[in-house]
Chain A
Amino acid sequence: MELIAKNITVCAAGGDLVDDADLSVKPGELVALLGPNGAGKTTLLRAAAGIARPFKGSVKLGAADAFKLSAQERARRLAYLPQIRPPAWPNIVRDVVTLGRYAHGANLAKPAGDDAAAVNAAMSDCDISHLSARRVDTLSGGELARVHCARAFAARTPLLIADEPVAALDPRHQLRVLDLFAAYVAGDSGKPRGALIVLHDISLAARYADRLIWMKDGKVLASGTVKETLTSERLAQVYGIDAQIDGATVMIKGIAQSAR
């Protein structure tokens, strides 16, 4: 299933948060959305995920219009992982992961059949099986991030959108979580899936993403492979930093002259 968002425009009192942005995610593609703080990444993501209807523009999930689907139908096609926050109640890990099966009508107290299989597989993929009965308020940041990932993976949707899934994680956990996304995109039994994630770490994006989407001031400036779009000019233009690029390796030297 392919996600195609076209001409997304989102307005706020002060001006456009997102201005005529396009993006797409194909099966088997891990797409990273890059841009400075306040570029409109989260706003665009929420529109693309079908959660907040934009002022203008369309979002297609496969053949269906994302905003014509019911919440349940949409949730079976696309899983959305907002920025990681602790749950409202100190639930146990397994119950939080089981919520990923909500749209499939799972018995949330006691998942059975496909639901139980999906929950168990997601927990083992995210290496949190041993935390199954732990209360989420006792987890470390890295563990909580993996619980939320497992919740999203358990839905087994063809598409996944995640907002800064590795923010506030140490380097090892960042790699582990992004490995999970890469495995998710590769899919099982030859059925690849698509993922769109917001990242702040350009090196990680270059390492994992099949395609980069660059955003600034609510506009999509470029979209393409790492090779095509990761240049020092681009980093100066988008982030206002002076960096040296060597293949997929990024060496940040400082703030760009133009941005000082």
Chain B
Amino acid sequence: MRLNTVLIIASITALFLACLLGSTPMEPGRVFDALSGQGSAADMTVIWQIRLPRALAGFIVGAALGASGAALQGLLRNPLAEPGVLGVSGMAVLGASASLYYGLAALSPWVLPSASIIGALIATALITLAAMRVKSVVTLILIGVGLSAFSGAAMSLLMNFAPNPFSLSDMINWMLGSVSNRSFAEIAFAAPFMAIGLIILWLGRRGLSALTLGEEAAGSIGLNLRALRVSVVVGAGLATGAAVALAGAIGFVGIVAPHVIRPFVRYDPARTLLPSALLAGLFLVLADIGVRIMPTQTELKLGVVAALLGAPAFIWIAMQRQSAGQGD
């Protein structure tokens, strides 16, 4: 519990910090005033229209990816499982891009998140079906790699057929992953799916603990394995799909957060869920602050920074497994 308290306080602090920093420097007093609705009109606009929604979007996207990563790792009993690695994010990006490309996204604000979620659900379902047949952890990761490659190829196809340079650059920008210029309205279209996904994952947490013993023994102590599989597939699919709809592809967050958290919660998959969500949210808020204050010509994309930090961490975790002799 103490770990969660620390993470919640740190997250709130980071969100506040994100409101503080930016092209117009604002001291804490003005931010407080603006947040409580008593600031000047200009300050209110900056905080409520730009900085707060952006920071919040970063936080909930991180939380969704962190919890999905922790849940998938628990279900597959594999510390390398993660929405990005398993191709779930890629398939969500594919779904969302297809809806953008064919102009479906303009029909209703619900189309983009729905398309993204459908892509994510297809991927989680395929991975889980594969996990039921293959026992090898490595094979499963390879299937994820294949799924990622497929969604990448299909994305290239969409870009290949892009009607004009503008839509091409739109797609690429969106693919790179970012939470800049997000509004509360956009958050409102993704947040309900995320919330439902996270609640579903949360309700399955005891089952994830049971799976520590392996599938057969978990079944024998009273776990309904089929129900748990469905709930993780649906929960992670909804949360990841909605996160991708809001921010594009932001990889590797879901692998690093649970890895950091696990030693603090005695390696229990159930107790990994909440702190992983909080830590991943915190990480994205901080990374986004970094992106904003970094003096680069063009603003760095959050997804690029997350991958630059996360991919080496992924390799490191994979190598550790090898040396611990747990690879099978």
A82-B213 Cα distance, complex, nearest whole Å: 10
- Interface size class for chain B? 20 to 34
Interface centre among B210, B262, B268 (most CB of A within 10 A): B268
Known: A87-B213, A91-B266, A99-B213. A76 touches B222 (CB 8 A): yes
Report yes or no: A80 in contact with B224, Cβ–Cβ below 8 A: no
- The yes or no answer to B183 lying at the interface (CB within 8 A) is no
Tell me the chain A residues, 25-78 only, with Cβ under 8 Å from chain B: 46, 49, 51, 70-72, 74-76, 78
Report yes or no: B220 in contact with A109, Cβ–Cβ below 8 A: no
- The yes or no answer to B267 lying at the interface (CB within 8 A) is yes
Known: A71-B224, A102-B206. A88 touches B214 (CB 8 A): yes
Report yes or no: A96 in contact with B213, Cβ–Cβ below 8 A: yes
Tell me the chain A residues, 73-130 only, with Cβ under 8 Å from chain B: 74-76, 78-82, 85, 87-92, 95-96, 99-100, 102-103, 108-109
Report yes or no: A71 in contact with B219, Cβ–Cβ below 8 A: yes
Tell me the chain B residues, 177-220 only, with Cβ under 8 Å from chain A: 206, 209-214, 216-217, 219-220
A135-B213 Cα distance, complex, nearest whole Å: 14
CB-nearest residue of chain A relative to B265?
A109
- The yes or no answer to A155 lying at the interface (CB within 8 A) is yes
Measured CB to CB, the closest approach of chain B to A196, in angstroms, equals 13
A81-B225 Cα distance, complex, nearest whole Å: 17
A70-B267 Cα distance, complex, nearest whole Å: 28
What are 27 A-B pairs at a CB distance below 8 A? A46-B216, A51-B219, A51-B220, A71-B225, A72-B224, A74-B222, A75-B220, A75-B222, A80-B216, A81-B217, A82-B216, A82-B220, A87-B212, A89-B212, A89-B262, A89-B267, A89-B268, A89-B269, A90-B267, A91-B267, A92-B267, A95-B266, A99-B209, A103-B221, A109-B271, A135-B267, A151-B213
- The yes or no answer to B105 lying at the interface (CB within 8 A) is no
Per-residue interface assignment for chain B, residues 268 to 301, with 1 indicating a CB less than 8 Å from any chain A CB and 0 otherwise: 1111000000000000000000000000000000
- The yes or no answer to B77 lying at the interface (CB within 8 A) is yes
> Contacting A109 at CB < 8 Å: which of B77, B216, B270?
B270
CB-nearest residue of chain B relative to A85?
B214
A102-B217 Cα distance, complex, nearest whole Å: 11
Interface centre among A71, A74, A88, A109 (most CB of B within 10 A): A88
A155-B214 Cα distance, complex, nearest whole Å: 17
19 additional A-B pairs beyond A71-B224, A91-B212, A102-B221, beta carbons within 8 Å, are A51-B219, A75-B221, A76-B222, A78-B220, A79-B221, A81-B217, A82-B214, A82-B216, A87-B212, A87-B214, A91-B267, A91-B268, A99-B209, A99-B221, A100-B221, A102-B206, A102-B210, A108-B209, A109-B271
Query: A80 — which chain B residues lie within 8 A by C-beta?
Result: 216-217, 220
Which DSSP category, helix, strand, loop or mixed, fits chain B's interface? helix
- The yes or no answer to B223 lying at the interface (CB within 8 A) is yes
Tell me the chain A residues, 207-235 only, with Cβ under 8 Å from chain B: none
A49-B222 Cα distance, complex, nearest whole Å: 12
CB-nearest residue of chain A relative to B1?
A109
Query: B266 — which chain A residues lie within 8 A by C-beta?
Result: 91-92, 95
Query: B77 — which chain A residues lie within 8 A by C-beta?
Result: 88-89
Query: B267 — which chain A residues lie within 8 A by C-beta?
Result: 89-92, 135
Report yes or no: B212 in contact with A103, Cβ–Cβ below 8 A: no
Query: B210 — which chain A residues lie within 8 A by C-beta?
Result: 99, 102
CB-nearest residue of chain B relative to A103?
B222
Query: A87 — which chain B residues lie within 8 A by C-beta?
Result: 212-214
Query: B221 — which chain A residues lie within 8 A by C-beta?
Result: 75, 79, 99-100, 102-103, 151, 155
Report yes or no: B216 in contact with A70, Cβ–Cβ below 8 A: no
Query: A81 — which chain B residues lie within 8 A by C-beta?
Result: 217
Query: A46 — which chain B residues lie within 8 A by C-beta?
Result: 216
A108-B271 Cα distance, complex, nearest whole Å: 10
> Contacting B223 at CB < 8 Å: which of A79, A90, A102?
A102
Query: A70 — which chain B residues lie within 8 A by C-beta?
Result: 224
Measured CB to CB, the closest approach of chain A to B70, in angstroms, equals 12
Measured CB to CB, the closest approach of chain A to B95, in angstroms, equals 31
Measured CB to CB, the closest approach of chain A to B328, in angstroms, equals 11
CB-nearest residue of chain B relative to A88?
B77
Interface centre among A75, A76, A151, A155 (most CB of B within 10 A): A75
Measured CB to CB, the closest approach of chain A to B260, in angstroms, equals 15
A17-B225 Cα distance, complex, nearest whole Å: 24
A96-B214 Cα distance, complex, nearest whole Å: 12
Measured CB to CB, the closest approach of chain B to A134, in angstroms, equals 11
Closest 6 pairs (CB-CB, A-B): A103-B222, A75-B222, A88-B77, A80-B220, A72-B222, A89-B267
A135-B219 Cα distance, complex, nearest whole Å: 23
Query: B271 — which chain A residues lie within 8 A by C-beta?
Result: 109
